[in-house]
Amino acid sequence: MRTTEARTFAVPAAGRLSLERPLSGATAGGGLLAIAAGLASLADNGAEALALPVLALMLMVSLGDISYVWFENRTFDRSAAAIAGASIAGALLLLVMPEYLYGREINGIIHRSLFASAVLIAVGVPASITGVQRVLGGAPSARDVARYPIVLLPVIVALAAYALLMERLVSDGAGKLSWDLLTTSYTEEVTDAGFVYEAGLRNHILGTLMLIGLTSAISIPPGVGAGIFVSEYRGPLAHIIRFSTTMLRAISVFIIGVVAFSLVDAASGSAPGDPISDFIRGYYSDANGFKHAAKGSFLLAAVFLSLLVIPVIARSTEEGLRSVPRDIREGSIALGATEGHGLRRILLPWAMPNVITGLLLGAAEAAGSVAVLLFIAGTGQYGVGPLKEATSLSFVIFETKYGPKPFQDAMGSYEFSAALLLLIITLGLTVGALVIKQRFITRYRGSLAGD
């Protein structure tokens, strides 16, 4: 039988003040303060100055706790001693550590605030757990409640990182958005004065939407078909298909991008205008109407992006079909429905919310994927079409840092604007997936279940 160890104290004499609860509350409060200071130090180098005062506070509280327990019970408080030792060790580490760390094969410069954040969180989490548990009395329920900081800390860190990201995107991206930027395409023109470059995101926005549409159209038949086969037709072949879709999802996107580039390179011997060359490389026409081969077409990019989406659709279709209640399956068979009729009129409508959700979430992932486009996309100056040179907002973000110098000069100030637009598109697809899923559930599952 498992027993819960709780710290006990002698009952104080009449008129004598017990410091048990105040000290426990101070330990919990100090721990939460240390966590907050650690998160602040993680976000801002200047907050590193809070580390030593907070650690000194934790040390004083722990020493007070140790002294009180010793005088009351003649026992040694090991938890408080561990917190005190960690506070001393952390303070000494930060005192001897230089402000910046570099060299020793470190590829970069690391500020001391990163280590201050780790020390504060490492001291604050056990201190807050110990303090909360003792304030609540040390019962089993108190132990569970005291563990909440461990669960909440990753959530808080993730939300804080997301908030910082959103703040940076909105502050640096929204201010530079304009109607001209959204309706003008990036162009390179030759004038008497030389090359003139005009910034614009129209073709990149349309290219992102084009990739989403083509990828969805290519992914739906094999994705839904694989999900149906795995769910409804059990056997060795179904296991092979499931394993294949799982492994397809596990392939690195960079490998897919390299394969796409290799295919474009293999088609470089085909003349522009050849159907194979146009499908693989795409084309563009110059001012005189002559055709030139591009780096990679939208169709080719969509084919390789569909490799990321097909496993998502297949898995969601399979889960949707397996969620059909047995009563509905058996009822359709009892009423004489054929296998094909039941699949079309009962099973697929029931699984449709899952299919739509998987499709839209996969399309959102395809819209933000840049690794596949890394070697086959272009600047978007030649227009948008299935056989035009592929481009997208995600590729713009990459090119503003590592692309040609003229493109960087013209579009470098709009990288956060492109990122904000891409976030709006992917977030819109995610929200749309949830809304459509709920409507399909109400429309199809409600009617089939008789709700």
Separation CA 79–CA 72 (nearest Å): 16
CATH number of 179-449: 1.10.3720.10
Instruction: Scan for tokens 């299935």, then name that residue.
Output: 386
Q: Which helix (DSSP H) or strand (DSSP E) does residue 207 occupy? A: helix 202-232
pLDDT 10s digit of each residue in the chain, 451 long?
A: 344 444 444 444 444 446 777 888 888 888 888 888 888 888 788 888 888 999 999 999 888 888 888 888 888 888 888 989 999 999 999 898 888 877 666 666 788 888 888 899 889 888 888 888 888 776 677 777 777 767 777 787 788 778 878 888 888 888 888 888 888 888 877 666 667 778 888 999 999 999 988 998 999 899 988 888 888 888 888 888 888 888 888 888 888 888 888 888 888 878 877 888 888 888 887 767 778 888 888 999 999 999 888 998 898 888 888 887 777 777 777 777 677 777 777 778 888 888 888 888 888 877 777 878 888 888 888 888 888 888 888 888 888 888 888 888 888 888 888 888 988 888 888 888 788 877 777 766 655 555 4
Q: Which helix (DSSP H) or strand (DSSP E) does residue 249 occupy? A: helix 236-250
Residue 361: Cβ-neighbour burial (10 angstroms; 0-12, 13-18, 19+):
buried
Which part of the chain has CATH 1.10.3720.10?
179-449
**If DSSP codes are grouped into helix, strand and coil, which group holds residue 248?**
helix
- CB of 388 closer than 8 Å to CB of 295: no
